[in-house]
Amino acid sequence: MKSVLLIFLSLFINAAGYSQAGQLKSIVYDFDGQGLGQSNLPDGDYKNFDLSYQIAENPLSASTVLGDRVLKVVLNWSSGRGEFGKGITRHVELDVQTDYINFYCYNPLSNSDSVIAEVSITEDDNFNGLYESAQDDKWKKEVAVARAAGWQLVSLPLSSFADASAGGNGVFDAGYGSNEGKLLTVSITFKKRSLPYTGTESYYIDMICFSEGALATGATDLDPPIAEQEDHCLLGCLAYRTPADSVPFEFEALFPEVNRLHYINIFMPYATSGSTASNLPGNAVQRLINNGYKPLITWEMLYTSYSASDSIQPQLNDILSGEFDSYYDAFADKIKLYTDTVYIRLFHEFDGDWYPWCISVNGQDPQRLVNAFRYIVDRFRAKGAYNVKWVWSPNSAPKPNTSYNWIVDAYPGNNYVDVVATSIYNHPSAGTPPWKSFRSLYAECYFYLWKYFPEKPVFICEMACRERYGAELSSSQTKAEWLCQLDNDLRSFFNNTRALIFFNRNKEHDWRVNSSTSTMQAVKSCLWENTYYTERPLIVSENLFLGRHTVFPNPFSNELIIENVFPYGEYRITVYDIFGKKIACNQTAKGVTIQGEIASGVYILEISGEQYSEKIKIIKQ
């Protein structure tokens, strides 16, 4: 039996990358990193009625999802209820039709009965930061948590919540839209099921979070999702000395056994002295290329001789007025001479309030940033500088958290952006800032990048963690442990991340990978020697597949024919770029034309069924 499938590769849809069920969306609390006995938690915790709480060791075996720190809640029953909650008061995009709130709960067999957990979510519909029953919505849902020998994952669809407030607009509409409310609080109230309201019982909770769909897990509820075979994440580091290409060798000398660096991040302002934009890339960039690295220029629209807030600094409107045209042309002329691709990161962390290009200091208008980004890219293209990958890179959290600072509104468009990215720091504030897990810092920004721009690779262009300070609890998570937990999360919840670039510098804190012996060992064992952080090309064959398929012509121009497709059962056609990124997929490919656009180049075609998977390299002319 023979069938023929024509795949018109000039017409391609992007792979529906963001449709994976259960993608982690935003973390309320995961308690990782906190010290034993700690009861003052980061970012606005509170309690009411019969409940007290503290950080405790996981009473059961530590797992990848829950780690070794959880929240122990103690109910000294007198009123029959006790509430633990967190004040949030910020925009978080939630969709009542698709999203879930999740948490893990352990109700030990030593307790007297199952317990009712009432989950409450309040929205600030009038944007004053206070819950007012006449003005705001409160959404509630109860679930019984039985006594059990282990942890239970509770996943509740937001669509199942009921409005328990007479006020507000009666619509679950937390989000960034002009008429959408801020997420105000999330709480869990434990309710005793029966009298008497006496005695003391303990429960444990962890990983309170939102997800699109019920939270994805691995082999068990305590295992994270599993990365796909082609997933990988390449490493990089900061270059901040002169010449820039001296830094990679110094970094790699810390780990002489193997070379792992791929990207080198170079910060380049408009001017290092004075107020005339004149700073251009030089021979160091070509030397990086010659030595096998991918240069990433973080191009800063500022004059370093002046503070970032000085009125002399450029603004986005200055770009659009043509003030820097000759400078951009000279920059483009330099770039196009390099013999390989250069990544240019424009207007990074634009959703903050610390740079002169931030939306907050440019009329609070994201469209200005869009227009300025497009203006520079168009200028480079007009000069023939096509060897550029353009990187669009918001911060991992907006500041201020307001509706105008919604990163999606500041996206220049797929024709202008090649890579979407962010920065992750634990934590750049001065003094001894709150300690937060990598997962909680990255989850929300990653979700937006993954959902709204699924066809773009995701980079972390700056990543760093501080060491602990002497006044902190000795039982707290260390920097070394934080980095190894980062590894677990990148290979599960954030498996579409394709670059991790160390901000290896002693600056606000000691961010270096050799800031301590334990940190250096963690980087070596969890990241540097881990093959996940290497290029992982798909294993392909240039030959026919076991007589099942003939793929021709190859190379091709307009259409590719797959002949003699195995005729039994459904099969899937998937196309990857040469880096292993999925760019098109059709789950039921028989007789279906895949539509969209694909550029000339080398790709990997995979044909898979229930019990087989076969791949071949294809070339689009």
Cα gap 299→149, rounded to integer Å: 55
Token reading at 22: 């259960």
Token reading at 188: 């869990």
* Domain edges within the chain: 4-16+538-620, 31-212, 234-533
| pLDDT on residue 10 | 35
Token reading at 13: 């849809």
| pLDDT on residue 546 | 38
- Percent of the chain beyond pLDDT 90? 72
Residue 100 has pLDDT above 60, yes or no: yes
Residue 229's contacts (CB-CB under 8 Å, 6 or more residues apart) are none
How many of the other CB atoms lie within 10 Å of CB of 297?
Answer: 23
The domain 4-16+538-620 is placed in CATH, from the list 1.10.530, 1.20.120, 1.10.8, 2.60.40, at: 2.60.40
Contact predicate 386/336, CB 8 Å: yes
| pLDDT on residue 331 | 98
To which residue do tokens 């810092």 refer?
Answer: 441
Cα gap 596→606, rounded to integer Å: 18
Q: Is 326 left (phi over 0), alpha (psi -120 to 50) or beta?
A: alpha
Residue 19 has pLDDT above 50, yes or no: no
Q: Return the bridge partners of 501, or none.
A: 236
β-strands 458-465, 419-426: how paired? parallel
Contact predicate 238/250, CB 8 Å: no
| pLDDT on residue 609 | 62
Q: What SS3 state is found at 124?
A: strand
* Cα within 13 Å of Cα(131), Cβ side: 19
Mean pLDDT of 401-421: 96
pLDDT bin (cut points 50, 70, 90) of residue 9 is very low
- Lowest mean pLDDT, pick from 220-224, 368-372, 576-580: 576-580
| pLDDT on residue 153 | 97
pLDDT tens profile 377-391: 999 999 999 999 999
Residue 43 has pLDDT above 50, yes or no: yes
Residue 584's contacts (CB-CB under 8 Å, 6 or more residues apart) are 12, 13, 14, 15, 573, 574, 575, 594, 596, 598
Q: Return the bridge partners of 392, or none.
A: 346, 420
Token reading at 547: 């007589």
To which residue do tokens 């424009």 refer?
Answer: 346
Cα gap 465→442, rounded to integer Å: 13
Residue 219 has pLDDT above 80, yes or no: yes
Q: What is the CA radius of gyration of the chain?
A: 26
DSSP code per residue over 84-102: EEEEEEE-----TTTEEEE
Contact predicate 2/563, CB 8 Å: yes
Contact predicate 61/222, CB 8 Å: no
Cα gap 106→319, rounded to integer Å: 56
Contact predicate 312/319, CB 8 Å: no
| pLDDT on residue 548 | 57
pTM: predicted TM-score of the whole model, two decimal places: 0.83
Mean pLDDT of 94-121: 97
Residue 125 has pLDDT above 90, yes or no: no
| pLDDT on residue 28 | 97
Cα gap 350→359, rounded to integer Å: 6
pLDDT bin (cut points 50, 70, 90) of residue 538 is very low
Angle subtended at Cα 311 by Cα 305 and Cα 316, rounded to the nearest 5 degrees: 100
Mean pLDDT of 488-495: 96
**Could you tell me which CATH number the domain at 31-212 has?**
2.60.120.260
Question: What type of residue is 440?
Answer: S
Residue 252 has pLDDT above 50, yes or no: yes
Angle subtended at Cα 28 by Cα 467 and Cα 430, rounded to the nearest 5 degrees: 30
Mean pLDDT of 163-180: 88
pLDDT bin (cut points 50, 70, 90) of residue 549 is low
The domain 234-533 is placed in CATH, from the list 3.20.20.150, 1.10.287.70, 3.40.50.720, 3.20.20.80, at: 3.20.20.80
Question: What type of residue is 620?
Answer: K
| pLDDT on residue 575 | 80
Question: Are 31-212 and 234-533 the same fold in CATH?
Answer: no
Contact predicate 499/236, CB 8 Å: yes
- Lowest mean pLDDT, pick from 75-84, 430-439, 539-548: 539-548
Mean pLDDT of 131-150: 93
pLDDT tens profile 579-619: 566 666 665 544 434 445 677 777 777 777 655 566 777 77
| pLDDT on residue 580 | 62
